[in-house]
Amino acid sequence: MYTLTEIREELKIKERSVNDLIRYIKTRTDDNPNYSLLLGAGCSVGIN
């Protein structure tokens, strides 16, 4: 089992800043569905 510190280190490249989100919103077009906002920003989505 991983510790919280190990998980954070492993997922560090997935972290996004507010500036990353702003940049994505500025370059987004209306042709993209709303969920692509989160996916394009690097969020992981799981379906149960």
Domain layout of the chain by residue ranges: 4-32
**pLDDT tens profile 1-48:** 889 899 888 888 877 788 887 787 777 667 766 666 666 555 555 544
CA distances from 4 to 7, 39, 43, 46 (A): 5, 23, 18, 20
Q: What is the rounded CA–CA span in Å between residue 41 and residue 14?
A: 9
pLDDT value of position 43: 58
- 3-class SS of residue 37: helix
pLDDT value of position 11: 84
pLDDT value of position 48: 47
pLDDT value of position 1: 85
Q: Which residue stretches of the chain are H helix? A: 4-10, 18-27, 35-40
Residues contacting 16, CB < 8 A, separation 6+: 41, 42, 43
